């Protein structure tokens, strides 16, 4: 087993067809630069390459409404003016005649990566995709994102592979509110996001991006937001957040609690203390 790399050159087909200063940064060159960096370092050649496939409409329907999927499908036949008008109905989004194809490839790449890891074909992996996904919601594109690739992959892992505990770590300058909304009442998915917030003055300007949003109903406690209110956080800040917030929370929620029976001779797993590193813990004997 090695590291899988899931990618397809068709995902570079979409590009902005009109002038928009906000959306112009989501361009094919972003994906080309990422792939080029892997090639220059000799990492691409060491990976198990998997050509991305399109996600089916049934797979998209794991988290998106049929009406929204149909709307995105119709963009294949729209002219530039119609695409611009439709894009204007959403926040920081543009559509292209190739958007439906590219977005299905992006979602499909995430599904293939999940399948490769969970079937043992790969130990871990990376999916290089565009459009991105973490802002899109059940019935709305948002923030360059069309289909929520990570949410679709998580739901696929639950339904196809029987996973009961999933951790999504969203390490991005922007809060992935789309993932949060999709799983906010689902206790099987722990969503952890660290993002620039500035007391609500940074996009997407949502109060629910703050630390006091923790999920609701059965999912209460399974949403963890770490909002950066100060600009200029460095490596030490991210490392501290990783070691002292993310890892303790992740182990608390995702490590199965095995009942310990006295005199049984069985070996149980103890939960790590909140402030300790996972490598500092052994197991207890009963």
Which residues are catalytically annotated? 135
Could you tell me which residues are beta bridge partners of residue 285?
A: 267
Q: Residue 140: how many CB atoms within 10 A of its CB?
A: 19
Place of tokens 């080309």: 32
Q: How is residue 149 written in tokens?
A: 């690739």
Instruction: Please give the backbone phi and psi of residue 194, each rounded to the nearest 5 degrees, phi first.
Output: -115, 135
Distance, CA of 283 to chain centre? 32
The string of DSSP codes covering 56-97 is PHHHHTTTS-HHHHHHHHHGGG--HHHHHHHHTTSSS----T
The string of DSSP codes covering 147-165 is S-HHHHHHHHHHHHH--S-
Report angle CA 266, 271, 272 to the nearest 5 degrees: 130
CA atoms within 13 A on the CB side of 36: 6
Q: How far is CA 198 from CA 33, 136, 204, 229, in A?
A: 29, 22, 11, 4
Q: How far is CA 160 from CA 53, 79, 156, 188, in A?
A: 17, 38, 6, 14
Contact 106, 7 (CB under 8 A): no
């Amino acid at each position: 087993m090695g590291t899988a790399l899931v990618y397809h050159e068709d995902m570079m087909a979409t590009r902005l067809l009109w002038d928009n200063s906000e959306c112009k940064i989501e361009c094919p060159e972003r994906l080309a630069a990422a792939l080029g960096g892997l090639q220059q370092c000799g990492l691409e050649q060491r990976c198990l390459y998997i050509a991305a496939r399109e996600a089916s409409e049934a797979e998209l329907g794991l988290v998106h409404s049929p009406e929204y999927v149909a709307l995105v499908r119709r963009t294949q036949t729209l002219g530039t003016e119609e695409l611009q008008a439709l894009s204007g109905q959403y926040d920081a989004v543009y559509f292209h005649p190739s958007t439906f194809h590219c977005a299905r490839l992006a979602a499909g790449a995430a599904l293939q990566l999940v399948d490769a890891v969970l079937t043992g074909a790969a130990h871990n992996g990376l999916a290089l995709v565009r459009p991105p996904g973490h802002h899109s919601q059940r019935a709305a594109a948002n923030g360059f994102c069309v289909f929520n690739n990570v949410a679709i992959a998580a739901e696929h892992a639950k339904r196809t592979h029987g996973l009961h505990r999933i951790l999504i770590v969203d390490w991005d300058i922007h809060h992935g509110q789309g993932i949060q909304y999709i799983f906010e009442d689902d206790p099987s998915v722990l969503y952890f996001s660290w993002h620039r917030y500035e007391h609500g003055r940074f996009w997407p300007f949502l109060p629910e991006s703050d630390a006091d949003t923790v999920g609701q109903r059965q999912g209460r406690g399974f949403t963890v937001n770490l909002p950066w209110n100060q600009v200029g956080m460095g490596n030490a800040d991210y490392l501290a957040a990783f070691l002292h917030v993310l890892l303790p929370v992740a182990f608390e929620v995702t490590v199965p609690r095995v009942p310990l029976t006295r005199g049984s001779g069985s070996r149980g797993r103890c939960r790590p203390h909140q402030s300790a590193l996972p490598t500092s813990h052994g197991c207890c004997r009963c």
